[in-house]
Structure 1
Amino acid sequence: MKICAMTMVYRDYWALAQWYRHYGGHLGPRNLYVIAHGHDPRIAEICPEASIITIPRDELKHFDRVRLRLMNDIQSGLGNVYDWVIQTDTDELVCLNPDQHASFADLFATAEAPVLFGLGLNLAEAKDDPEMPEGANVFSYRKTACVTGNYSKAWAVSNGMALRWHGVFCGYKRAHKFPFVMPDGVFFVHLKHAHRGALEDANEVRQSVAETVGEEWNVTGWAKADFRAKRFFRKLAKAEYLEWDAAIARGYEQIRGNPVRDSERGIVKPPFINYVCRTDLPEWFSRA
């Protein structure tokens, strides 16, 4: 079975290194595709064996919509030569419980739908967490996570279907019945808050872009990036703590059991539930 992973990046170097290490280890680095938003030689240094596609960064108005179409078009093209395409942001890693899935190929061989979702985990740097050495596996240094519906995203496609708004565009007549498949032991981990230093750098870029483009950017979180980061850590601290097994059981109950079926937009996506509960990751994540 042929599998690849793709992402788009602009200067998020720490997350890109994590993305390359993770998916390169699972799929082989030559099956990775990185879309560089503007020429950046550092991307090739971080991802030396990946295929890098550089696109211009001279027009940002409405770029979020352009990015969505571009990513889906490239994903669809890759689907002509790969059986499955993994599509995530640079700070998103899909982790498989090794006791349930030996590999991505093992998971896809038994897939019950052409698009798969993963139970979302927002990984965070806790107050007492040690400093993370450069190049280290994030899961060896970070354990605190929040179960989240917002990041229980669609991430793998087998037939070129378009991913949209954290879900999948399946057509207006199919949204009411399209399968919302979130397999056990498959976790969609969001790394944005897992490294405070990298978060500060990324927020500076987001704020700069929002100020440059103004209302035309149309990405609500970018203009108030620091405020939203502080709010996340504040709400995470107040979230109910559950041990791992209880936490994911609650997550599956609230998220897998309640997909949003938007027939007007033709989309199936996870429910917007940000703080289901707080938990600690088990040790196997450092080997995932």
Structure 2
Amino acid sequence: MGVPTEQPGSPMRVFTTHGTVLNVDPTTGELRHGSPAISPPNARLVFDGPRAQIMHVVLTTLHPIACSTNHSWSIVGPLGAGTAPTSTVLEVVRLDGGQIALKALGAFLSAESDGRITLSRTECGAWERFTLREADVAKQLKIAAVTMVYNERVFLPIWRRHYGRAVGEENLFVLDHGSDDGSTNNLGRANTVRVPRDKFDEYQRSAFVSRFQASLLCYYDAVIFSDVDEILIPDPALFAGLVDFVGRQCDQFVTALGVEVQHLQNVEPDINLSRPILSQRRYVRFAADYCKPLISRIPLTWDPGFHSCQYPQLVNRNLFLFHLKAMDRNLALENLRKTRSIQWSESSLGRGHGAQFRLREDEFIKRMFPYSLEEINASLVGDFDFSDDLSRLRIDRANTYQSFKGGFAIVPDRFLNMIDALVPASVPARPGVRTADSGRPWTSRSGRDLDLGKHLVVADIGAAGGLQQSWSKVEDRIVAVMFEPNPAKAVELGTSSNRFADVVVIQSALGEAPGISTLYLTKSSGCSSMRLPNRTFLDRYSVRPAFDIMSNINVEVKTYFELFLAGEVPPPDVIKIDTQGTEFEIIKGFGDLLSGCLGLQLEAHLYPIYEKQRLFHDLVMLLDGFGLVLRKISPVDHFDGDVVELDAWFTVRQERIAQLDVASKWKLSVICSEWGLTEQVRQFPPSTDW
């Protein structure tokens, strides 16, 4: 996220704002852009003052790139021979949100839809905007998230769940300003810092948080601060999450684009805290107040309210701050009654700080919930694009930011499951101490009540053919939950597993949000998927005909979490996923049930054999956020000897094993034995040498 040093020889990888990366085709020498997963890291932008050149890295040598209106290529490459004797020197144009444009001879460098890189555009659009990443940022960034609270029974669990998944719960810091309602008790691995309760003062709060953030930067690469009702989400179409987003920024700090989540009382019911928030609240409005600088790699001195800091700001259009204060009228009024009871310092009252927290209820409702659906539809912006509002926005030092509301927008589908529901009381909160649901009954299909503490719940997603593992040593204690969207295969499952204590067959696909999706049935049934095959990649291999689509059917998609809430499935002890490209979305659909899971097996890919699929490293990082770590991998040879596909096994982290109760330790030992995993033990004893 550091600003380019603009020193000669400082090499940076160049990414488009759509997530592809510039690279040189080794066979043709042409500069192109493509998926980071399959693109060689052999193109670098090297600065020389305010100008730069794209260079082709060949071993330890840098060869310049020549750019034209139709193609760009390495001068050392075959296309360059005798065609472009000189390289192209580019002017670096700094844009908002840490992005840049590259310009020469009056034209902007552009990433074409067919993969070419051209010097051909007179205007700077989305495909002419780039971000830079240092060559050595492959390491996992360590990021802390901080909030300050007082009696936040609703928003703190949402905040903890969201940021805990993003950066790891052990990296959360909750500054507790005297809570007495129990909301800050039992926060798992999150760090709680008790702050004395006194009269509320915005200057005191911003100064304290600024110094706390600076201290954390001694140990962390970056720090996020947000109020407890502020949820930061990088565009999921471009980034795998907050860590991925931070790693791909050029600026030392990032200002989010703020939107206010709206509750349309006439058409939307009260919020259901057992369901994802944005799936129930589809309308948001641009809010200049919430365009805040909240992610930083350098110490910031925030002004009261955290709306501005000591540096000039540019809003990053790919990072959204969803403000949840007005997501529900009744909850907002409950919160208002709390804030009106707070004693404010004389200095804050004199400056008018927090006046919105002391409004009368009628004034508050008029300000926060004045809109009808007709009014909103009349001022909708398209494609979640707030460019007009951003053009009005100026943020200066000394808290002279503009406070205005802008256009309304409908939340795109890709965001709908990004702010999860609260954790139901029956689900252990991450990471927690697993209790194996001791004594909790599960009614089997035969009508027997089974004690889940004495049974192993195996969830098999993509279960055609039955459970892959035999579980022969404990088959009479297995509760098998099998998912298969193919109707014919699902019928077979219902009669094939009578040896288990119970079998639940769900004729449905799983995902991260409920709905209807298309299942593409291929020549080889094992290649069928809800994603289209990636023909460009598959054409390399003899297995390609197996992916030919023969037909397709519409299938219902559910989440495991919603099925659990409905009482249709028990919480899983072990999960197996083999769904050809949709593993990431399925895992997210388990919600915090994953926090109680002891083991997970899946088939994954190092290269995208399906369009828009998440790859193996994305799955590893997602599962790590739930305390599940990689224990074993085994390549699957379907691709002419290339390692493209693999099976992977995950179990709970070692430090969590000591917290397991007796029943859960038995279950974990059964899982490890079935999978051929050794006991998790520390290989290196403590030493004073390191």
TM range (shorter): 0.7 to 0.9
The equivalent position to 1:130 in structure 2, one of 269, 281, 285, is 269
Contact 2:143 2:223 (C-alpha < 8 Å) held by counterparts: yes
Q: Bigger CA drift: 18-27 or 98-107?
A: 98-107
Code of the residue aligned with 2:410 in structure 1: it is D
For 1:225 and 1:7, the matched residues in 2 are separated by 27
Q: Distance in 1 between matches of 2:382 and 2:174?
A: 33
The reply to whether residue 71 of structure 1 matches residue 212 of structure 2 is no
Aligned to 1:29: 169
**SS of the residue 2:202 aligns to:** helix
Match of 1:119 in 2: 257
Question: Which position in structure 1 is the counterpart of 2:133?
Answer: none
Relative to structure 1, the CA distance from residue 96 to residue 6 in structure 2 (aligned partners, 3 Å threshold; closer, same or farther) is same
Greater helix share, structure number: 1
Once the two structures are TM-superposed, the CA of residue 39 in structure 1 deviates from its matched residue by 4.4
**Alignment partners' CA distance in 1, 2:213 and 2:338:** 26
One of 366, 383, 393 as aligned partner of 1:245:
383
Aligned mate of 1:276, from 393, 399, 406: 406
What is the CA-CA distance between 1:120 and the residue it aligns to?
Answer: 0.9
CA shift in 2, pair 1:91/1:114, >3 Å? same
Residues 108-138 of structure 1, C-alpha deviation per residue, up to 9 Å, x if partnerless? 2232222211111000111222333334321
CA contact (8 A) 1:206 1:225 kept: no
Displacement of 1:103:
2.1
Identify the residue that residue 97 of structure 1 maps to in structure 2.
Answer: 235
Structure-1-length-normalised TM-score: 0.84
Distance 1:213 1:246 in 2: 38
Identity, in percent, stands at: 21
Whichever structure has more strand as a proportion of its residues is 2
1:39, 1:56 within 8 Å by CA — same for their partners in 2?
Answer: no
The aligned counterpart of 1:43 is 184
2:301 to 151, 162, 166: 162
Partner Cα distance (1:151, 1:191) in 2? 11
Q: 2-side partners of 1:79 and 1:31: how far apart?
A: 12
AA partner of residue 369 (structure 2): F
Matched, 1:191 2:321: no
- For 2:391 and 2:179, locate their aligned partners in 1 and report how far apart those are by CA, in whole Å: 44
Of 249, 255, 261, the match for 2:396: 261
2-side partners of 1:195 and 1:43: how far apart?
22
Q: Which residue of 2 aligns with 1:139?
A: 278
Residue among 153, 159, 183 paired with 1:13 = 153
In structure 2, C-alpha distance between the alignment counterparts of 1:53 and 1:246, rounded to whole Å: 38
Shift of 1:243: 4.1
DSSP-derived class of the 1:185 partner: strand
> Matched residue pairs, number?
268
Cα RMSD of the aligned pairs, angstroms, is 2.3
* TM, length-normalised to structure 2: 0.37
The 1-side partners of 2:345 and 2:220 are apart by 39
Paired amino acid for 1:222: F
Q: Note if 1:53 corresponds to 2:193.
A: yes
The 5 A counterparts of 1:193-212 are 193-209=326-342, 212=343
| Structure-2 change in CA distance of 1:143 and 1:65 (3 Å) | same
1:2 maps to 142
Bigger relative contact order (CA 8 A; separation at least 6)? 1
Q: Provide the secondary structure at the position in 1 that maps to 2:291.
A: coil
Structure 1 residues 50-103: Cα deviation after superposition (integer angstroms, max 9, x where no partner): 11111111x20x522211111111111111111110001000001111111122
Gaps of 5+ in 2: 1-140, 419-690
Amino acid at match of 2:256: G
